[in-house]
Structure 1
Amino acid sequence: MAGIEDKVDKDYASKSAAEIADAPVDALKGVSEGDAQHLKDAFNIKTVRDLGTNKYFLWAQAISKVAE
């Protein structure tokens, strides 16, 4: 889990990667409840896993990598 604990709120710092993946998006440091609601409304993203596997975010990430 090295490196993950500083990317999540302190309540999730000792959780496993699987537990964090299934946590609400606002478990990520810097993502507010309001941000999480916007993600849910726009893309039906409810969990960290949903965010990490969302096709639009993956497409944008791939395009950004190719653009480098």
Structure 2
Amino acid sequence: MASIDLTKVLDKAWAEKDLAEVLAAPASALKGVSDRQGALLEEAFGIKTVSDLAGLKYFHWASALATLDATAK
């Protein structure tokens, strides 16, 4: 079973929430993403939640390219 220490990736206010709440949280719930940056993500890509960010096709494309590069070395 996979797990993640939510205190390392989420702001304090969100670290004790369950996964469903975290996925429905605004992108700014992630550590290092400010409210302003969250607003810019929404403006540019329609990202409103952590789940939206995870499902962004550009994220998947970039991640796949990075994985290909890592496995080619």
TM over 0.5: yes
- % same residue: 43
Structure 1 ranges of 4+ moved more than 3 A: none
TM-score for the superposition, normalised by structure 2: 0.86
Matched, 1:44 2:46: yes
Q: Deviations over 1:15-67 (max 9, x none)?
A: 01111000000000110011101111110000000000111111110111001
The corresponding residue for 2:8 is 6
Give the gaps of 5 or more residues in structure 2.
none
Return the alpha-carbon distance in structure 1 between the equivalents of residues 4 and 57 of structure 2.
27
> What residue in structure 1 maps to residue 69 of structure 2?
67
CA distance in 2, matches of 1:62, 1:41: 25
TM-score (norm: length of structure 1): 0.92
| CA RMSD after TM alignment | 1.1
| Number of aligned residues | 68
- The structure having more radius of gyration, on CA atoms, is 2
